[in-house]
Amino acid sequence: MQPSGVKCAEMKGFHPLLKPALEAATLAALLCCITAAVALVLGLSGQRLMTLYCVNLCAVLAFQIFSGNSGVVSFGHTAFMAVGAYVSAWLTMPTALQRTALPNLPAWLAGHELAVPLALGIVLLAGLLLAAVSGLPIARLNGASAAIATLGFLIVVYSVLAAARDFTRGNQAFYGVPRATDITLALVFACLFILAARRSYPAARITAPRAWARVSTGAVCSARAMSPGPCSSARASHHKHWSLTNANTTETPQTCLLRLR
């Protein structure tokens, strides 16, 4: 028996794998039209507004790719945003301002003043390294235990960033970061995130265990059709980095961790 989604796609004349891509392309085109309209009507303030909107949209879609597909509430995404924000600040900050704002920064971190594309690549590598270290133990958990573990990870990252004053200025404002994220760059990444959130390979891998659980539950319910209690119970149980920092010139651990509230 074919799933209902496949039947609907066939009735509409679309291949089931092509339909999500068309939906994502439509949403991306709609976002481009809205961004262009707001920027034209409101001028520079509209560009600033839509830049922040696209950055926040990337954060929301990052939550969706993991939590929306896995069903596991994650508090750790905000920690990754905070780490990416500070790493990008260290790499792109002008050397003169860096000596004033962070006089005790180690020599291997100071004075780089890299271009945005190169700094972005290093930020992505730092995020992957942090994800590998933190994800190995959390991947063995599920449900409430995984959510609590991500909350503990967030608290650890926040405590380290707030205490490392020579690196992050502690609770003081982190000034001097160049405003390198414009409306074009933010819009491009927002469109890429939309495409990634609609049935991308990582999203499909995360969704697969939940889909298999539904199939297994359906098989058990079909085999126990004379016992509606477990079936109804099983059916009932199945019903927040870089860009943000370079779009804002000041940053603190509190703003990194509370921005998605």
The three-class DSSP label of residue 22 is helix
- Two tokens at 57? 């949209």
Cβ-contact 88, 124 below 8 angstroms: no
**Tens digit of each residue's pLDDT (9 = 90 or more) over 129-161:** 998 998 888 888 877 888 899 999 999 999 999
Residue 74 DSSP class? -
CA distance 168 to 157: 12
CA distance 195 to 48: 23
Q: Please name the residues in contact with 8: beta carbons below 8 A apart, sequence gap of 6 or more.
A: none
The predicted pLDDT at position 76 comes to 87
**CB count in 10 Å sphere of residue 218:** 14
Residue 153, phi then psi, degrees to nearest 5:
-60, -40
Cβ-contact 193, 63 below 8 angstroms: no
CA distance 240 to 118: 25
**Tens digit of each residue's pLDDT (9 = 90 or more) over 233-245:** 333 333 344 555 5
CA distance 124 to 169: 23
Nearest one of 231, 93, 116, 61 to 168, comparing CA atoms: 93
The predicted pLDDT at position 210 comes to 55
Q: Cα–Cα distances in Å, from 160 out to 104, 154, 171?
A: 17, 10, 11
The predicted pLDDT at position 221 comes to 39
Q: Which residues of the chain have pLDDT under 70?
A: 1-17, 199-261
* pTM, rounded to two decimals: 0.69
CA distance 192 to 196: 6
- Two tokens at 117? 């594309």
The predicted pLDDT at position 183 comes to 92
The predicted pLDDT at position 122 comes to 93
Cβ-contact 93, 85 below 8 angstroms: no
CA distance 195 to 197: 6
Q: Please name the residues in contact with 209: beta carbons below 8 A apart, sequence gap of 6 or more.
A: 70
